[in-house]
Amino acid sequence: MALWGNNDNISAAGRVTLDYATGIVTGFTGATTGTLFGQAGSIQEGDVIRFGVSTKPGVYFGDAVVVSIASTIQLTIGSTAGLSGVAIANTTFQASQLPKYTIGDSSFSRGVGNDAPRKVYGISTDGSGASSGTQYEEGVGWVGIQTYMGTEGTLRVKKEVLVAMSGITTGNTPSYPNIVSAS
């Protein structure tokens, strides 16, 4: 299992429920909520599953690494350490190949709830939406972003390149930069 990949745009959609005791994630089937694990282009073993929504309004529950896939609607995560501990039921998810070590880094993985202050994004020059010369301009690779209100009341942005690399496929929602105003 690689430490990271180059895809922040894995076709994974639907709704899931997590059993914290077993680490089993179950997807819902149906016309509007269909979930397919392990299919070509979908979430695979070694990918990171991101529970919830990290934009307002919404609740972000955190990230976990997929360690096995039992069927198209059931997978197992390796640890719940990067999750909030709040019940995850009938919740949306995304999949990414972001650096797995960020899940164990409390500065990234514990920023959960409605105000997730830090998130890891895949940045490519073609898909980032970061135009040259702006505060959002960044090198390509996996980038940690933190937004916060400064003491003077202005929205501030901190960026840190975690893994510099080219060839990242981007497009997950929210896409970088996802600067939300603090409320």
pLDDT in tens, 83-102: 989 999 999 898 899 999 88
114: left (phi over 0), alpha (psi -120 to 50) or beta: alpha
Measured distance CA(106)–CA(104) in Å, rounded: 6
| One pLDDT digit (tens) per residue for the chain, 183 residues | 678 887 777 877 788 999 999 999 999 876 555 678 988 878 999 999 989 876 656 788 889 999 999 999 999 999 999 898 999 999 989 889 999 988 877 666 565 444 545 778 777 765 444 444 445 555 778 888 777 778 888 877 778 888 887 777 776 655 555 444 333
Q: What amino acid is encoded at 15 in this protein?
A: R
Contacts of 104 (CB under 8 A, 6+ apart): 81, 82
Answer for the pair 28, 90: CB distance below 8 angstroms, yes or no.
yes
